[in-house]
Structure 1
Amino acid sequence: MSNKYDCICIGSGNAGCSAALSAIHNGCNRVLILEKSPTSWAGGNGYFTAGGYRTTHTGLSDLLPIVTNVQPNSEQANKIDMDPYTREDFIGDIMRLSGERSDERLVGAMVDGSRDAIQWLKDKVNVPFIFSFHRQAYEVDGRQKFWGGMVLSVEDGGKGLIEAHHRALKEAGVEIWFDSPAVELLFKDGVITGVVTQKDGQHLKLETPAVVLAAGGFEADPAMRMKYLGQEWGNAKVRGTPYNTGDGFTLASPLNPKVTSNWSAAGCHSTCWDYHTSSSSGSRSHTNTYTKSGYPLGLMINSTGQRFVDEGEDYRNYTYAKFGREILRQPGGYVFQVYDGKVLGMLRKEEYGDGVVRKIYADSVEELAAKLVEEGLEEAKVPTFIGTVNTYNQAVATHRQENPHLKWDPAIKDDMSTQSSQHSLQPPKSNWALPLDEKPFMAVKVTCGITFTFGGLAIDPETAGVLSEVGKSIEGLFCTGEMVGGLFHGNYPGGSGLTAGTVFGRKAGKAAAQLRKQ
């Protein structure tokens, strides 16, 4: 068998698969994916996601033909409220959450390609899209009301997405070599000529004019996390694959690529994560169920009995990627999510169901605080914990007295807060503030789960070609997925990561095919 390929993609996740399939669809004959993990860990971090895709759309009628769980013109469809999500909305969300630090050209290219990417995944990859009722909608007055801009996910989440990708790869004739890490990029006069991989214990040279880096960030390497993100990040739990250890950046380094910013400034995607989990990797069976994203319905209280974030600052999918970082900064690196009987039925069963997470119940706040001492609440801070809840409840009551016209609504930013002329709680709860006063009370212990690192290689927004330090494209080298820098800083709108991986993966595959035709 010849060792010559039209395109070689490094990484078997959503981004690498998108690039490989795009290369085939655009005219490449021989495409190879190199994956350092064994087959049992196929799919990179994409496997561990909820499968959420954020895209522009014009409303319900635009997306109904794409999904499998709602029929057009059905009674179910007639009970759905879904606002359009425009280009301006999507770009505005990314720029707002990044503090205007994201590269606007890169953001614009991703957003402009989002709707076509969804259609391509549906038509060419047969991805089973669904409306994300279980994550992105609440039933209000008998209607399903979507919130937070993102409405699509994949049936069976990341598992379903990766399964669809790998079926499509097999049908397209793309080769995948597992247990085969790329160890060196070959180039001449700054132009890519091939890859060296380690296969069956031997180094093997492969010829190709096009390499797509889709190897993920360095979130699974504790030493790199501490070096680039800060010492406390050595304690973060890895949410996904243990194989994302920064290899792609090491491979690219001899070509002197442009790095968009230092990683400590860009930060990472982190989230509220089940405390009672492995530190080194996610679970292939539980995947995203270890996420604990119900906090807008309750409070988060640290081991000293104090709140530390505004749980109602924004919709969940605009805050979860940064709240993990705030949890890590708390004493011990863990906190308690606290809920009362009014909202327990609204918490996602996938995340809070029996057998999914350890739950501590009590018939009063005082009893709950006493039980949490065994879980890590400082015994001397039990009165502080109780006082935090009581003060919060008083602030909620005062706000309600002054604003009787407001109605609690989890599907909108309802302004039901803790701030009034008599109380100015710090930190506030800006929306969805309900008193914690109805038994049973429940708490779960959460920590920080790191998903992927922001920051990385600079790319051409139109081709996904990796740029050199002087801003010129490195011929034959492309990048997509978590290795792309300049897109996210500090925070991001949920569902954008998979979308970006597909958008720039398609661009990389198309550009790689153009090299073959030259």
Structure 2
Amino acid sequence: MLDGSTDYDVLIAGGGNAALCAAISARRAGARVLVAEGAPRFYRGGNTRHTRNMRCAHDAATETLSGPYSEEEFFDDLLRVTGGRTDEALARMMIAESKEMLTWIVEQGVRFQPSLGGTLSLGRTNSFFLGGGRAMLNALYRTAESLGVEIVYDAEVVDLAIEGARFRSATVRHAGKDVSIRAKTFIAASGGFEANIDWLKEGWGEIAENFLIRGTPYNRGTVLRMLIDRGVMQIGDPTQCHAVAIDARAPKFDGGIITRLDCVVFGIVVNRHAKRFYDEGEDVWPKRYAIWGRLVAAQPGQIAYIVFDAPSLELFMPSLFPPVEAETIGELAEKLGLSPAALERTVAGFNAAVRPGTFDHTALDDCRTEGLEPAKTHWARRIETAPFYAYPVRPGITFTYLGVKVDRAARMVMADGRPAANMFAAGEIMAGNVLGQGYAAGIGMTIGSVFGRIAGREAARLVSSASQSPEAA
């Protein structure tokens, strides 16, 4: 129970991957650490609960990775998905540091499984957590607790006392009371604002009402808003985010990975007018799946439909919900509430444009369309074998990119350009430094792990140096 009587070296707001990496790093450096997790214990960990893997650079194949993934290739992939909208110095530093994370995070109790193949195409680049994100998270919590990190749940940071560029204390709401917590340093690792629909509307307008939130309902951006209001420099575009196409039947919040749909490349995607609107085969899925949330958000009613036929049914990870099924395209359209004539016309036009090739769902194959706008440049096969299937999809927001500016030490930067005296940030709350737009699978966990470890290390170092030189405090 919090009572405000203890002074901490490091106060961390948040309870996910970034927060735990920061807590462990700081504690191993000798700091007294308090983690204030705004969610109840069962829902602890924010979006980390729903993750599966992490992208790290490595020089050679391992027991859990099928081949090398160089720092330069990682950076090239990042440039491709962000269109160059990244802080190159920070990104390169993160990628270099990521090479150590595969060993460091295992030392904290996290276990990886053998590499995966199939449609994910990530066996060489991404390490998959044995048991998924919740198992990974539980391992970090066990390690943090065994080291003596203090953790409190249902503990939302509702106010911050910041004088100039220096953090003094935080007000934490816990057990029906507001408690003032003093700490020598503060680390913000409390996620973005994707669960705050009103804030999303500030950037997106009323269409945000039709968005589904893939992750935790507790990421409302409370700490982020306070930091910006108290003089920390913000970075990023409020409309940029990790947004994927998820099953439209998913719950408003916390649907997680099982509502994501990976079948776009195997069929066509149409809007509610039964018209295609983008190349479904532009690139391998891990480099393109995160563009589809924004694409669907731009369609009428923020809804679309993935249409495919029987040969593709077992080529991808299915949704929690079964696909809509019919014996004809017209019947499928009726079940979806679309114009049968319009969908039949779209499918017929697509089929006529498909050119023969050698289908290979693991590579950029030569199955394409010709004379069709928009084209489908890979994995184009005629949709002609009954039964026919469809999934309705809506934009699924994972996390937002508007955040706080940090430097190489994960230290926040104030609006006037000064480094904060004793405030750090890690994870989604500062992801916009690396992700100006776009996404590559697993990079969110990389950002959280790398900057979390740095933030904890640097916060502990600051406390140690201040204790040896009191005038620095």
Normalised by the shorter chain, which TM-score bucket?
over 0.9
Match of 1:130, SS? coil
**TM-score where L is the length of structure 2:** 0.93
- The structural deviation recorded for 1:129 is 1.1
Partner in structure 1 of residue 333 of structure 2: 369
Distance of aligned partners of 1:187 and 1:147 in 2 relative to their CA distance in 1, 3 Å threshold: closer
1:391-424, Cα deviation, whole Å (9 max, x unpaired) = 111111xx22xxxxx52211111132113xxxx2
Work out whether 1:27 is the aligned partner of 2:2. no
Q: State percent identity of aligned pairs.
A: 31
Q: 2:112 matched to 1:129? A: yes
CA contact (8 A) 2:210 2:394 kept: no
Which residue of 1 is the match for residue 468 of structure 2? none
| CA pair 392-214 structure 1, distance change in 2 beyond 3 A | same
Q: Match of 2:55, SS?
A: coil
Alignment of 1:94-173 (within 5 A): 94-123=78-107, 125-133=108-116, 136-137=117-118, 146-147=121-122, 150-173=125-148
Q: CA offset at residue 435 of structure 1?
A: 1.4
Alignment of 1:246-261 (within 5 A): 246-261=221-236
Give the Cα–Cα distance (whole angstroms) in 1 for the partners of residues 396 and 386 of structure 2: 30
Q: CA deviation at 1:205?
A: 1.9
Q: In the TM superposition, what are the counterparts of 1:401-480 in structure 2 within 5 Å?
A: 406-419=357-370, 424-461=371-408, 463-480=409-426
* 2:54 alignment partner, SS class: coil
In structure 2, the CA distance between the partners of 1:263 and 1:167, relative to structure 1 (3 Å rule), is same
Return the alpha-carbon distance in structure 1 between the equivalents of residues 269 and 135 of structure 2.
32
- Out of 451, 470, 487, the position equivalent to 2:434 is 487
Mapped contact 1:364–1:440 kept (Cα < 8 A): yes
Question: In the alignment, is the contact (CA less than 8 A) between 1:54 and 1:149 conserved in 2?
Answer: no
Q: Distance in 2 between matches of 1:262 and 1:159?
A: 30
Aligned CA distance change for structure 1 residues 431 and 127 (closer, same or farther; 3 Å): same
Q: What is the alpha-carbon root mean square deviation over aligned residues?
A: 1.9
User: Residue 282 of structure 1 aligns with which residue?
Assistant: 254
Partner of 1:346: 315
- Contact in 2 for aligned 1:272/1:449 (Cα 8 Å): yes
Contact 1:18-1:506 within 8 A present in 2 as well: yes
Q: Distance in 2 between matches of 1:328 and 1:155?
A: 33
Give the equivalent residue in structure 2 for 1:48. 50
**Any idea what the Cα deviations from partners look like across 1:203-250, whole Å, max 9, x if unmatched?**
222221111001111100110000023331222011111111111212
8 A Cα contact 1:455 1:488, kept in partner = no
- Spell out the pairing of 1:210-359 with structure 2 (5 A cutoff): 210-264=185-239, 267-279=240-252, 281-283=253-255, 287-348=256-317, 351-352=318-319, 356-359=320-323
**Alpha-carbon shift at residue 178 of structure 1 (Å):** 1.0
Residues 148 and 315 of structure 1 are in contact (CA less than 8 Å); yes or no, is this contact kept in structure 2?
Answer: no
**2:235 counterpart SS class:** coil
Distance in 1 between residues matched to 2:150 and 2:247, nearest whole Å: 36
Q: Distance in 2 between matches of 1:205 and 1:371?
A: 56
Q: Relative to structure 1, is the Cα distance of residues 459 and 214 closer, same or farther in structure 2, using a 3 angstrom cutoff? A: same
Question: Are 1:514 and 2:461 matched, yes or no?
Answer: yes
CA displacement 1:79-138 (0-9 Å, x = unmatched):
x9x442211111111112112111111211111111211211111x211212352xx535
Report Cα offsets for 1:171-207 as digits up to 9, x if no partner. Answer: 1121111111112223445322322212222222222
Aligned to 2:398, the other structure's residue is in SS state strand
Which of 174, 186, 210 matches 2:149? Answer: 174
Query: 1:208 is matched with which residue?
Result: 183
Aligned twin of 1:499 = 446
Could you tell me whether the CA contact under 8 Å between 1:322 and 1:490 is conserved in 2? no
Is the 2:68–2:125 contact (alpha carbons within 8 Å) kept by the matching residues of 1?
A: no
Change beyond 3 A, Cα 1:224–1:371: same
Contact persistence 1:260–1:456 (CA under 8 A) = yes
CA distance, structure 1, for counterparts of residue 265 and residue 124 of structure 2: 17
Find the aligned partners of 1:156 and 1:10 in 2 and give their Cα distance: 26
1:148 positional shift: 8.3
Asked if 2 retains the 8 angstrom alpha-carbon contact of 1:147 and 1:315, the reply is no
* C-alpha displacement of 1:147: 4.8
Post-superposition Cα deviations, 1:465-496, rounded to whole Å, max 9, x if no partner, equal 00012322101100011111321123111110
SS across alignment from 1:345:
coil
TM-score (norm 1): 0.85
Q: Give, in whole Å, the separation in 2 of the partners of 1:150 and 1:411.
A: 14
1:3·1:205 contact (CA, 8 Å) conserved in 2?
A: no
Provide the rounded CA distance (Å) in 1 between the counterparts of 2:33 and 2:110. Answer: 21
Question: Structure 2 counterpart of 1:384, which letter?
Answer: A
Where does residue 392 of structure 1 map in the other structure? 350
Q: 1:432, CA displacement in angstroms?
A: 1.1
- Counterpart of 1:142? none
**Contact kept in structure 2, 1:131 and 1:151, CA below 8 Å:** no
Alpha-carbon distance between aligned partners in 2 of 1:120 and 1:147, rounded to the nearest angstrom: 21
Give 1:6's aligned residue: 9
Cα deviations across residues 426-479 of structure 1 (Å, max 9, x unaligned)? 111111111112222111211111100013111012x10000123221011000
The one-letter amino acid of 1:331's match is P
Per-residue CA deviation, residues 363-384 of structure 1 (Å, 9 max, x unaligned), is 23233223323xxx2xxx3212
- Does the 8 Å contact 1:238/1:449 carry over to 2? yes
Query: Does the 8 A contact of 1:150 with 1:494 survive in 2?
Result: no
Residues matched between the structures, number: 461
Task: Sort the Cα spacing of 1:437 and 1:110 in 2 relative to 1 into closer, same or farther, 3 A.
Answer: same
After superposition, what is the alpha-carbon deviation per residue over 1:6-34, rounded to whole angstroms, capped at 9, x for unaligned?
Answer: 11110001111111111112221x21111
